[in-house]
């Protein structure tokens, strides 16, 4: 049975993918049939060549683009991937496609420089405000942030390959070239803090995946849950447990996910919020922003909870009281003022207790161990108490604070403060034992895969 899908995309008439089973050398294969394509308004020959080639070579890419708002606005592959011949990220291998002369469009007369990497600088040609806001955010600067504070990197406690498949997958790589092409050690990567060859930071496709670049996709919590999950920052799990997540699960299929940017409104287009609606989307007098550092009144991921402007690795250029007022206005689209202010009062008390009861005493005890030479400060993670201290704030402590902030009681208590108590008691017991006996801590001399480069990347820390 053959199915045909037709779509008129602002002047570009495309019939969708149809597949049929054909017999090739006695082997059955599903082969996509070629798609009809008709231009209704102007498009450059070079852009047409991109579309005609890629719809045959990568039909998935073509189909995503064809269903996008970009296609509806007659924005083609070439509009986003176009580069200057002198740009460092120009694809040299792509030039060879024009020398084959085995297809209608694989000819030199269509040859143009293109880059495989589309950066926020490229996107800023049409989305200047979004790119500017994003550039100021912790997202865009997160690679620099972790190189300032993370002992895994600064002490070389993991391998380069572990970083590529772990840390850098979300935080981003520093793109580089090898033999005039993108280095496979740094590409592919769509990390939010990726340092691009054109000097821009980040990747818009972290949230708006290519080549659909869907606003709908970025509005759903799963987009954020690609990175915000797991034992150290389980925001997606916390959201799922919360009332907000429950409402999303129950009614999410009724939300108007495709409302125009800047017009997605609580009570009109959706019933319960998602990550994006609280941290990015506009409501009331609060404007839409791609700077996720806004609206925050606490730095919940830090060891000691501080205000965002006091976070030394990346001080927010904001005032926490003003940003709290913005977030509370978002809350009050659905909640009363008393309810909202009381929630913040509870969160503030949670933070106070975490700081004073758990973190500050543990940090003081760790410093005492270092001062007395019972722990070695040469590197981190190779002594058990360093791991205990790290997980107290980096795992349980974060879960307690984030669970309270996002109204997930199981994470605030059982995954949070309950585990904080166990970790704190074990840490203090062993620490006091070392102090009383004068014994030095066990040290893992053969720490596995502690081979990572400890030098801060000069591309990030230019003098």
Quick one: pLDDT at residue 41? 58
**431 falls within a domain:** yes
Quick one: pLDDT at residue 38? 52
Are both 139 and 278 inside the same structural domain? yes
Quick one: pLDDT at residue 463? 52
Are both 164 and 292 inside the same structural domain? yes
pLDDT in tens, 79-100: 999 999 999 999 998 998 888 8
> Does the pLDDT value for residue 297 go beyond 90?
yes
Domain stop point among 116, 142, 165? 116
Split at pLDDT 50, 70, 90, the class of 409 is very high
Q: Is pLDDT larger for residue 386 or for residue 72? A: 386
Model confidence, pTM: 0.88
The whole-number average pLDDT for the span 294-304 is 98
Quick one: pLDDT at residue 35? 46
Are both 191 and 267 inside the same structural domain? yes
**73 falls within a domain:** yes
- Per-chain mean pLDDT for the chain: 91
**122 falls within a domain:** no
Are both 135 and 110 inside the same structural domain? no
pLDDT in tens, 313-326: 999 999 999 999 99
**1 falls within a domain:** no
Quick one: pLDDT at residue 316? 96
> Does the pLDDT value for residue 23 go beyond 50?
no
Are both 139 and 152 inside the same structural domain? yes
pLDDT in tens, 328-373: 999 999 999 999 999 999 999 999 999 999 999 999 999 999 999 9
The pLDDT > 90 percentage for the chain reads 82
Strands 177-178, 27-32: pairing is: unpaired
Quick one: pLDDT at residue 20? 38
Quick one: pLDDT at residue 17? 40
Phi, psi of 150 (to 5 degrees): -90, 120
Are both 314 and 426 inside the same structural domain? yes
**338 falls within a domain:** yes
Are both 268 and 370 inside the same structural domain? no
**15 falls within a domain:** yes
Q: Is pLDDT larger for residue 412 or for residue 44? A: 412
Look-up of token digits 């037709």? 6
CATH code of the domain in which 432 resides: 1.20.850.10
Split at pLDDT 50, 70, 90, the class of 71 is very high
Among 4-8, 25-29, 64-68, 152-156, top mean pLDDT goes to 152-156
Quick one: pLDDT at residue 32? 52
Are both 346 and 303 inside the same structural domain? no
Quick one: pLDDT at residue 30? 52
Are both 277 and 361 inside the same structural domain? no
| CA 448 to each of CA 35, 232, 386: distance values in angstroms, whole numbers, following the listed order | 52, 21, 16
Q: Which of 224-252 are b and which e, b meaning 16 or more Cβ less than 10 Å from the residue's Cβ?
A: bbebbeeebbbbbbbbbbbebbebbeeeb
pLDDT in tens, 27-56: 445 555 544 545 545 788 999 999 988 998
Quick one: pLDDT at residue 31? 52
Quick one: pLDDT at residue 227? 97
Dist. CA 339–CA 336, nearest whole Å: 5
Quick one: pLDDT at residue 107? 86
Are both 86 and 111 inside the same structural domain? yes
**153 falls within a domain:** yes
The pLDDT > 70 percentage for the chain reads 91
pLDDT in tens, 122-154: 999 999 999 999 999 999 999 999 999 999 999
Are both 53 and 10 inside the same structural domain? yes
pLDDT in tens, 421-442: 999 999 999 999 999 999 999 9
Q: Is pLDDT larger for residue 120 or for residue 3? A: 120
Are both 296 and 157 inside the same structural domain? yes
> What's the half-sphere exposure (Cβ side, CA atoms, 13 Å) at 91?
16
Domain stop point among 116, 139, 173? 116
> Does the pLDDT value for residue 182 go beyond 70?
yes
> Does the pLDDT value for residue 163 go beyond 90?
yes
Domain stop point among 292, 307, 322? 307
> Does the pLDDT value for residue 15 go beyond 90?
no
**126 falls within a domain:** no
pLDDT in tens, 195-216: 999 999 999 999 999 999 999 9
Domain residues for the domain of 435 are 308-452
Report the number of distinct structural domains present in the chain.
3
């Amino acid at each position: 049975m053959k199915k045909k899908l037709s779509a008129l995309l602002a002047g570009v008439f495309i019939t969708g993918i149809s597949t049929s089973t054909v017999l090739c050398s006695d082997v059955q294969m599903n082969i996509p049939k070629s798609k009809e394509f008709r231009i209704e308004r102007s498009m450059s020959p070079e852009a047409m060549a991109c579309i005609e080639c890629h719809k045959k070579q990568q039909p998935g890419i073509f189909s995503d683009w064809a269903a996008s708002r970009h296609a509806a606005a007659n924005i083609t592959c070439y509009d986003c991937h176009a580069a200057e011949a002198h740009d460092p990220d120009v694809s040299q291998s792509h030039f060879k496609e024009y020398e084959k002369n085995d297809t209608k469009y694989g000819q030199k007369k269509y040859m143009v420089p293109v880059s495989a990497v589309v950066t926020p600088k490229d996107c800023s040609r049409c989305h200047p405000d979004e790119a500017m806001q994003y550039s100021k955010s912790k997202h865009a600067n997160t690679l620099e942030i972790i190189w300032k504070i993370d002992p895994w990197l600064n002490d070389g406690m993991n391998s380069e390959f572990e970083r590529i498949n772990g840390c850098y997958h979300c935080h981003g790589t520093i793109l580089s070239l090898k033999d005039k092409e993108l280095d496979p050690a740094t590409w592919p990567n769509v990390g939010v803090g990726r340092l691009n060859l054109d000097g821009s930071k980040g990747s818009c496709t972290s949230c708006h995946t290519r080549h659909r670049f869907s606003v709908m996709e970025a509005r759903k919590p799963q987009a954020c849950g690609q990175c915000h999950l797991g034992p150290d920052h389980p925001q997606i799990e916390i959201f799922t447990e919360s009332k907000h997540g429950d409402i999303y699960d129950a009614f999410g299929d009724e939300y108007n996910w495709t409302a125009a940017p800047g017009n997605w409104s609580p009570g009109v287009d959706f019933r319960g919020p998602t990550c994006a609606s609280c941290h990015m989307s506009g409501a009331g007098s609060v404007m839409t922003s791609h700077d996720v550092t806004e609206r925050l009144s606490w730095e919940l991921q830090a060891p000691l909870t501080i205000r965002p402007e006091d976070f030394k690795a990346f001080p927010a250029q904001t005032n926490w009281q003003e940003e709290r007022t913005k977030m509370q206005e978002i809350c009050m689209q659905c909640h009363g003022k008393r309810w909202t202010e009381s929630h913040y009062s509870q969160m503030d008390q949670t933070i106070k207790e975490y700081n004073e009861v758990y973190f500050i005493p543990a940090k003081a005890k760790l410093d005492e161990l270092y001062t007395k030479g019972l722990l070695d400060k040469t590197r981190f993670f190779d002594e058990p108490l360093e791991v205990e201290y790290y997980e107290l704030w980096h795992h349980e402590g974060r879960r307690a604070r984030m669970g309270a902030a996002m109204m997930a009681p199981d994470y605030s208590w059982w995954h949070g403060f309950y585990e904080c108590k166990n970790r704190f008691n074990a840490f203090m017991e062993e620490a006091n034992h070392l102090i009383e006996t004068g014994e030095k801590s066990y040290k893992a001399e053969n720490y596995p895969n502690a081979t990572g480069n400890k030098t801060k990347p000069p591309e990030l820390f230019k003098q």
